[in-house]
Amino acid sequence: MNKLSIIGAGFSTAVLCHYLQNKDVHIFEKSRGPGGRSSTRKVDDIGVFDHGLQYISPKTEEFSKFISSIKGIKKWHGEFVELNGKEKILPKSEKLIGENGNNDFAKNLIDINKCKFKSKIEKIEFHKGHWKLIDDGRSEYNTQNLILTLPQEQTYSLIKNLDLKFKIEKNIMKPCFTVMLALKKTSIFKYSGYVIKNNPIISWCAHESSKQRSINNNELTQFTIQTTEEYGYANFKKYKENKNEILNEILETFLHMFNIDHPEVVHKNVHGWLYAYAASNDLPVFWDNQLRLGITGDWFTGGKAENSWQNAKLLANIINN
């Protein structure tokens, strides 16, 4: 029987691993590695794309200290602009990224020896004073204490049949798409990031090459392009049926926006995030001392890594005491 099990190996779990006094944890993760939405896509001969979390910009001193203490974290330099017909340079703010990719935030705090990857937990049951977890391979695991760190909707599907004091009413998480693009090296992009205003499709473009990672091919110009949530909502069904149509629509919008007539595209791909961000929320994290069940995630207070940290730290403190 495990003493403490956590479902999900994203940033919330990284924070829990740091703050929980009990380090004897078992982590179940449906993907192949840690990171969750703070994720990095590696493409052979090209390099890496931060197709999830773009950067961390701490709002509090305590979070800033926590983030800066993680191994392999560096600053993302350069100027950032807003495009709204014309360019407006944005005020400077600290932007932190992983040296090798933004999954470094989770990778460098989670001990992968404690993780069971490719294990999607499909059912949890409270049975004779402990929790039973059943994964998609029909394997069963018993644990005394359990913490869920999943996006709100995925948490809902695991707890909906349980008799808890905690209820999830409606989905508050918003979708978006991220395009990963590599062009033959071009010098037209002067800035590190572009906030796009008043465009129905694109909301943000990150000049990945400006992150100066040695793993990236310096013969190329790399970008991650993010869509608006409205475009995400309107097109998620189409994405499942015809990914290429979505990819090409976003790409054409990007090329048009930067007046690129004859692009030399070396790589293009799109990832759909059904649960990218949470709307502002104000739920307290959940801990049931009798059932020994905890629930946390960014979505309790917002949709950023700093929210994950705030909530996971709070839950760890409750459990530690």
Ligand X SMILES: Cc1cc2nc3c(=O)[nH]c(=O)nc-3n(C[C@H](O)[C@H](O)[C@H](O)COP(=O)(O)OP(=O)(O)OC[C@H]3O[C@@H](n4cnc5c(N)ncnc54)[C@H](O)[C@@H]3O)c2cc1C
Task: Pick between residue 253 and residue 301 the one whose CB is nearest to ligand X.
Answer: 301
In the complex, minimum distance from the CB of residue 159 to ligand X, in angstroms, rounded to a whole number:
11
Task: Pick between residue 185 and residue 212 the one whose CB is nearest to ligand X.
Answer: 212
Structure tokens at 290: 């009798």
In the complex, minimum distance from the CB of residue 261 to ligand X, in angstroms, rounded to a whole number:
29
Distance of alpha carbon 178 from its chain centroid, rounded? 12
Task: Pick between residue 226 and residue 253 the one whose CB is nearest to ligand X.
Answer: 226
Task: Pick between residue 10 and residue 98 the one whose CB is nearest to ligand X.
Answer: 10
Could you tell me which residues are beta bridge partners of residue 269?
A: 180
Distance of alpha carbon 200 from its chain centroid, rounded? 23
CA distances from 113 to 6, 108, 251, 287, 319 (A): 14, 13, 39, 26, 23
Contacts for 122 with CB less than 8 Å, ≥ 6 apart: 134, 135, 136
In the complex, minimum distance from the CB of residue 293 to ligand X, in angstroms, rounded to a whole number:
15
Residue type, 75: K
In the complex, minimum distance from the CB of residue 15 to ligand X, in angstroms, rounded to a whole number:
8
In the complex, minimum distance from the CB of residue 84 to ligand X, in angstroms, rounded to a whole number:
20
Which residues bind to ligand X, rule: CB under 6 A? 7-13, 28-31, 36-38, 52-56, 120-121, 149-151, 154, 176, 178, 226, 273, 276-277, 297-298, 303-306, 308
Task: Pick between residue 183 and residue 275 the one whose CB is nearest to ligand X.
Answer: 275
Distance of alpha carbon 187 from its chain centroid, rounded? 30
Task: Write the Ramachandran bin of 72: left for phi over 0, alpha for psi from -120 to 50, otherwise beta.
Answer: left
